[in-house]
């Protein structure tokens, strides 16, 4: 018996590898394809059990192919635009000296960018960390969280010269642009 499951929120080939290793360690014959965002099952399987395992890993099995590349494209484009709007003020600090009030506004914008716009990626990182697994989300979350907490530390100590708020915002904006372009190029396969 064969079945193909559509999987949402795979961000890199490492995500596909994590799902495949996890399911195959439970004696399930699974092949995960990152490019198609799907898993092929070719064994007698308990679908609910497989869906639960995939969800525990921080991914989501889509029931009826209800999310396609257009939906993901819109989600990532919207997030990219929001992130870009929050990042543009940070870019100004690279060229001009700013007042204390502007630096505080910049801190608030960066916190919104890192903790609101990027929330799903941090959540995915934490779910993988619990299982001692890493993927692209891990690298980006570690970097952006380090930059934001380091910057907050310097703001608390009233030294506004040393912060990395613009870098954390730039990374998120560029990754969201990449994710948007990637979703734009992906095609959803027909139902098997």
Range name among 9-18, 63-72, 137-146 with the lowest pLDDT average: 63-72
3-state SS of the chain is: CCEEEEEECCCCHHHHHHHHHHHHCCCCCEEEECCCCEEEECCCCCHHHHHHHHHHCCCEEECCCCCCHHHHHHHHHHHHHHHHHHHHHHHHCCCCCCCHHHHHHHHHHHHHHHHHHCHHHHHHHHHHHHCCCCCHHHHHHHHHHHHHHHHHHHHHCCCCCCCCHHHHHHHHHHHHHHHHHHHHHCCCCCCC
Examine the pLDDT at 127 and tell me if it is beyond 70. yes
Per-residue pLDDT tens digits for 60-106: 677 654 445 457 788 889 999 999 999 998 888 777 777 767 778 88
Per-residue pLDDT tens digits for 24-59: 777 677 788 777 777 777 656 667 777 777 777 777
What's the rounded mean pLDDT across residues 120-127?
Answer: 84
d(CA 80, CA 85): 9
Cut 0.75: pTM above it: no
Per-residue confidence band for 139, with pLDDT thresholds at 50, 70 and 90: confident
The whole-number pLDDT of residue 122 equals 87
What's the rounded mean pLDDT across residues 175-189?
Answer: 78
């Amino acid at each position: 018996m064969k079945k193909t499951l559509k999987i949402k929120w795979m961000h890199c080939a490492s995500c596909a590898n994590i799902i495949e290793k996890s399911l195959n360690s439970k004696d399930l014959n699974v092949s995960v394809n990152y490019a198609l965002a799907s898993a092929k099952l070719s064994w007698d399987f308990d679908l609910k059990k497989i869906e639960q395992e995939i969800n525990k890993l921080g991914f989501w099995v889509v029931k009826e192919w209800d999310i396609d590349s257009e939906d993901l494209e819109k989600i990532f484009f919207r997030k990219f635009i929001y992130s870009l709007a929050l990042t543009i003020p940070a870019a100004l600090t690279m060229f001009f000296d700013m007042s204390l009030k502007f630096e505080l506004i910049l801190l608030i914008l960066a916190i919104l960018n890192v903790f609101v716009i990027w929330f799903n990626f941090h959540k995915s990182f934490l779910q993988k960390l619990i299982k001692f697994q890493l993927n692209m989300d891990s690298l980006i979350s570690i970097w952006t969280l380090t930059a934001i907490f380091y910057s907050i530390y310097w703001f608390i100590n009233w030294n506004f010269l040393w912060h990395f708020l613009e870098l954390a915002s730039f990374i998120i904006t560029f990754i969201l642009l990449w994710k948007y372009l990637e979703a734009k190029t992906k095609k959803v396969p027909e139902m098997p």
